[in-house]
């Protein structure tokens, strides 16, 4: 199944939503939208294409009503998602959906592209858990490509679980909590060997925490 979701925010109007496939969204406030699953997706072979655009001076908060569960199909374990975010000058996007749970036998690849204009603001959080209770055989890979105008902000890839370059059945991480914030001038912050917030050369910060389970 192919899923497409388009959300557009503009000053002076409610967010505009267009959806088809297994995902839609509902306005839950003047500048807030919640994503809602309408069918079991992503299954193996599914493709998700989600685009969110925030116009000049507009603000948009995006959440979800539940976690996303990636499942294998009889034909293939692999599903793909493409997320595209555009924020114009003076616009602000706060994006924090529920976590993605990758069930045993499933593999999910997500590519996130961010285009920020000068003066835009962004908070982008992603959480992933490999496996449900007693099940850790899934795999996930996420790529983030973020730019401010023509200036690169971030090129980042993380792989978790089965098939990953650092997969280890005894000690490899099975959970990720990642947050990209722009602008942000916080300095380096570390918590042991599992969590770190790093400043980016073009401004903003990237926080990454890995472990066996997502924090509540």
Provide the whole-model pTM.
Answer: 0.93
| DSSP assignment letter at 116 | E
Element (H, E) at 47: strand 47-54
pLDDT in tens, the chain (216 residues): 999 999 999 999 999 999 999 999 999 999 999 999 999 899 999 999 999 999 999 999 999 999 999 999 999 999 999 999 999 999 999 999 999 999 989 999 999 999 999 999 999 999 999 987 767 678 999 999 999 999 999 999 999 986 666 666 556 778 999 999 999 999 999 988 889 999 999 999 999 999 888 886
- β-pairing, 107-116 with 121-130? unpaired
Cis peptide before 42 (omega within 30 of 0): yes
Residue 49 gets the label, from left (phi > 0), alpha (psi -120 to 50) or beta, of beta
Q: What is the dihedral of CA 115, 117, 120, 124, to 10 degrees?
A: 10
Under 8 Å between Cβ of 85 and 115 = yes
Q: Where are the domains of the chain?
A: 2-174
Provide the 3-class DSSP secondary structure of residue 193.
coil
Helices (H), ranges, 48-155: none
Rounded CA-CA distance 116/122 in Å is: 8
Rounded CA-CA distance 21/210 in Å is: 32
Q: Which of 212, 132, 136 is nearest to 176 (CA)?
A: 212
Tokens at 38, concatenated = 């309408």
């Amino acid at each position: 199944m192919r899923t497409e979701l388009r959300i557009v925010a503009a000053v002076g109007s409610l967010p505009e939503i267009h959806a088809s496939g297994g995902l839609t969204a509902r306005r839950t406030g003047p500048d807030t939208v919640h994503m809602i699953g309408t069918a079991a997706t992503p299954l193996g072979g599914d493709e998700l294409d989600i685009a969110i655009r925030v116009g000049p001076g507009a603000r948009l908060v995006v959440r979800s009503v539940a976690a996303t569960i990636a499942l294998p199909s009889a034909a293939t374990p692999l599903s793909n998602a493409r997320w595209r975010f555009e924020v114009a000058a003076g616009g602000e996007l706060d994006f924090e959906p529920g976590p993605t749970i990758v069930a045993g036998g499933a593999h999910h690849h997500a590519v996130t592209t961010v285009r920020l204009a000068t003066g835009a603001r962004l908070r982008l959080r992603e959480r992933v858990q490999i496996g449900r209770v007693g099940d850790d055989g899934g795999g996930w890979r996420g790529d983030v490509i973020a730019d401010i105008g023509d200036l690169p902000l971030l090129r980042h890839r993380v792989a978790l679980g089965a098939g990953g370059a650092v997969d280890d059945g005894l000690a490899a991480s099975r959970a990720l909590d990642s947050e990209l914030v722009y602008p942000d001038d916080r300095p380096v912050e570390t918590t042991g060997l599992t969590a770190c917030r790093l400043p980016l050369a073009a401004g903003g910060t990237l926080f990454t925490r890995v472990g066996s389970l997502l924090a509540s």
